[in-house]
A and B are shown apart, each in its own frame.
Chain A
Amino acid sequence: QKEVEQNSGPLSVPEGAIASLNCTYSDRGSQSFFWYRQYSGKSPELIMSIYSNGDKEDGRFTAQLNKASQYVSLLIRDSQPSDSATYLCAVKGGTGRRALTFGSGTRLQVQP
């Protein structure tokens, strides 16, 4: 089992729709959770961080965390073609490795 799992996609949504991206993780002691966006040929850039159960909203983005179920999700409202990218889920484990562990990413395509 991978430490951080994501559906590779592509996830295709029409412009203006809500895109829902999901991630599960294996380390129950994980404390910090991040969503990064990576455009093709570019480096990952941080979109959202979340540390406690529930929802965290920032503009069109909402991160959701459920530690009991070990999943974290990212909702993108009013999706735009410019949101088309690969979205990487990253988790800071509770024990052991100090660095973030990344999922393999979900490719999102927003159709104009």
Chain B
Amino acid sequence: GAGVSQSPSNKVTEKGKDVELRCDPISGHTALYWYRQSLGQGLEFLIYFQGNSAPDKSGLPSDRFSAERTGGSVSTLTIQRTQQEDSAVYLCASSLGSGLLMDEKLFFGSGTQLSVL
């Protein structure tokens, strides 16, 4: 597609439920990133994919968080047993991922606003 697509745009869930957030990166971008942004805060790195592999998962805050990517394209971020502190905007970004400095630019989706009640 023309840009990074995320769904749903908004998700309201009850504490303890599982949620799945989806990201469809720009066609041809091999690198995919998940960040989250709490209200008024900066971007917190969660996980990075190169192709279908995740060489850096260091930002996942707990084992309730997991992510996968299939076909070198779509990625799903899953949060199990959601807690109120998980409420944030979850942003997905992609880049060409060629390894060249000029290809490190990230292009962001519009995000998923997650609210845990």
- Which A residues are within 8 Å of any B CB, using their own CB? 31-32, 34, 42-46, 49, 51, 88, 90, 92, 97-105
Contact (Cβ within 8 A) A97 B56: yes
Task: Out of A32, A98, A103, name the residue touching B42 (CB < 8 Å).
Answer: A103
Interface 1/0 per residue, B26-53 and A, CB below 8 Å: 0000010101000001110100101000
Smallest beta-carbon distance B67→chain A, Å: 13
Contact with A along B89-101 (1 / 0, CB 8 A): 0010000000001
Contacts of B35 in A (CB 8 A): 102
**CB-nearest residue of chain B relative to A34?**
B105
**Chain B residues with CB below 8 A from A97, complex form:** 45, 48, 56, 58
Selected from B43, B50, B56, B110, the residue in CB contact (under 8 A) with A102 is B43
